[in-house]
């Protein structure tokens, strides 16, 4: 369509979520994943054949879908699945939009390292015969971002961060920033993760992967017997846009991205500051940005890895930031069901947070049967709770000291929002 002058930048105009796509081990689309999470279904199981971890120790939460083309990285396939779902959900008409003002913010993924294995094991060890997508076309970690943007002809800002397990959340914030800065009116934002041998081997050597005779019980966030996380696969994708743009095309609105912040711990690559000073500041600054007070927060989707250190430090940061309000806020860790999706963790868990607001339902923390006294929040053990709440937080606490938080506010307008389900 003909180019038009961009509207003047308005920092105060709300940015809203109008489309969500999601896939994970427990479902192949947004609503099937959400239904499974609501009922506490785990996608974690025993696996075999992933380089880097012995088969007798290998558990994870895989997504059982074929790649689109032989040789394509699974993360890229997952990105295309959720991008298509998010765009369809938003009911956006690409032919009627100025695609020069349609941004794409998709996190980096592990590039295809097939050639590395070939150097050590021979040219046919890692190669897929007749591969339509050779490794050198997927070597760059921004391949998925470019592939999705090219598929839909999106010519606005193209943004790709690699910030460990905060990546998905940070790229959503980057999309919001591009809209606020006047560079775009609408954006596709999210991330994906597929199992990769280097991640598997690295996490195994670090000793952070959980083990249990029953794989579904391995990841136990906030539990006294927690021993680490399990790897998962999946993707979460959003359509976010300025409110006036959404209203002009009569879009349905899930939630407002009311605020968000990024900070860092100048501490250690994998260890956390036990005083939780940076996390406390992150939560406080996010609430200020969102113009919320602690009592307004109804639900927090925690990073909640199930490692000994993370859960205590995260609890401490939440308590110090929210004060006495923390006693009445529900907190859960959905990694207990989906595994740790690393690059995709932030976006998938933000999607779950938005759906929790939509339906007035806080999902459970599974396997929480003996809560650690140091993790003294209401962590919703085993069974989710139906309760209408208007605001929620999503936290990401990533390797490398990357911290990110997003505050969502439920969209309550009867004409453009979603009504609460009758049973809620």
**DSSP output for 121-186:** H-TTSSPPTT-SS-GGGS-STTHHHHHHHHHHT--S-EE----GGGHHHHHHHHHHHHHHTTS-SE
Residue 20: beta bridge partners? Answer: 238
Contact of 237 with 189, CB cutoff 8 Å: yes
Mapped onto helix, strand or coil, the DSSP state of residue 69 is coil
- Strand-pair category, 330-332 with 402-410: unpaired
User: Which residues make Cβ contacts (< 8 Å) with residue 169, sequence separation at least 6?
Assistant: 260, 346, 347, 350, 394, 396, 404, 405, 406
Pick the closest to residue 144 from 197, 177, 107 (CA basis): 107
Mapped onto helix, strand or coil, the DSSP state of residue 43 is coil
User: Which residues make Cβ contacts (< 8 Å) with residue 416, sequence separation at least 6?
Assistant: 246, 247, 250, 251, 252, 253
* Separation between Cα atoms, residue 86 and residue 308, nearest integer Å: 35
* Separation between Cα atoms, residue 27 and residue 42, nearest integer Å: 11
For the annotated catalytic residues, the residue numbers are 165, 303, 340
Pick the closest to residue 32 from 393, 306, 338 (CA basis): 338
Token pair recorded at residue 106: 């998709």
């Amino acid at each position: 369509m003909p180019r038009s002058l961009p509207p003047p930048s308005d920092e105060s105009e709300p940015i809203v979520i109008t489309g969500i796509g999601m896939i994970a081990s427990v479902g192949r689309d947004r609503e099937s994943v959400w239904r499974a999470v609501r009922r506490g279904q785990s996608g974690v199981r025993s696996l075999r054949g992933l380089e880097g971890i012995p088969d007798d120790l290998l558990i994870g939460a895989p997504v059982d879908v074929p790649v689109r083309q032989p040789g394509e990285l699974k993360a890229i396939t997952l990105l295309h699945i959720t991008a298509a779902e998010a765009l369809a959900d938003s009911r956006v008409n690409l032919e009627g939009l100025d695609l020069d003002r349609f941004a794409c913010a998709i996190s980096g993924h592990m590039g295809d390292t097939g050639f590395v294995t070939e150097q050590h094991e021979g040219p046919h060890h890692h190669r897929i015969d007749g591969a339509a997508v050779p490794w050198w076309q997927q070597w760059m970690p921004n391949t998925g971002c470019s592939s999705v943007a090219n598929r839909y002809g999106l010519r606005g800002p193209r943004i790709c961060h690699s910030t460990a397990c905060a990546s998905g959340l940070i790229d959503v914030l980057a999309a919001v920033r591009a809209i606020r800065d006047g560079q775009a009116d609408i954006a596709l934002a999210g991330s994906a993760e597929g199992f990769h041998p280097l991640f598997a081997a690295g996490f195994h050597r670090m000793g952070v992967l959980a083990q249990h005779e029953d794989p579904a019980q391995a990841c136990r966030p906030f539990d006294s017997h927690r021993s680490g996380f399990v790897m998962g696969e999946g993707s979460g994708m959003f359509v976010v846009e300025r409110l006036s743009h959404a209203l002009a095309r009569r879009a349905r609105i899930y939630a407002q991205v009311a605020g968000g912040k990024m900070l860092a711990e100048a501490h250690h690559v994998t260890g956390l500051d036990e005083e939780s000073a940076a996390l406390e500041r992150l939560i406080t600054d996010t609430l200020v940005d969102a113009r919320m007070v602690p009592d307004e927060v109804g639900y927090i989707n925690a990073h909640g890895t199930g490692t000994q250190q993370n859960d205590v430090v995260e609890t401490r940061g939440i308590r110090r930031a929210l004060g006495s309000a923390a006693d009445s806020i529900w907190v859960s860790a959905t990694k207990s069901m989906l595994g740790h999706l690393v690059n995709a963790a932030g976006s998938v868990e933000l999607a779950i947070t938005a759906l929790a607001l939509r339906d007035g339902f806080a999902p459970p923390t599974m396997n929480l049967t003996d809560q650690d006294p140091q993790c003294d929040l209401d962590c919703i053990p085993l069974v989710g709770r139906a309760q209408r709440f208007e605001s929620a937080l999503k936290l990401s606490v990533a390797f490398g000291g990357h911290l990110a938080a997003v505050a969502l506010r439920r969209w309550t307008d009867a004409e453009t929002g979603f009504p609460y389900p009758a049973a809620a």
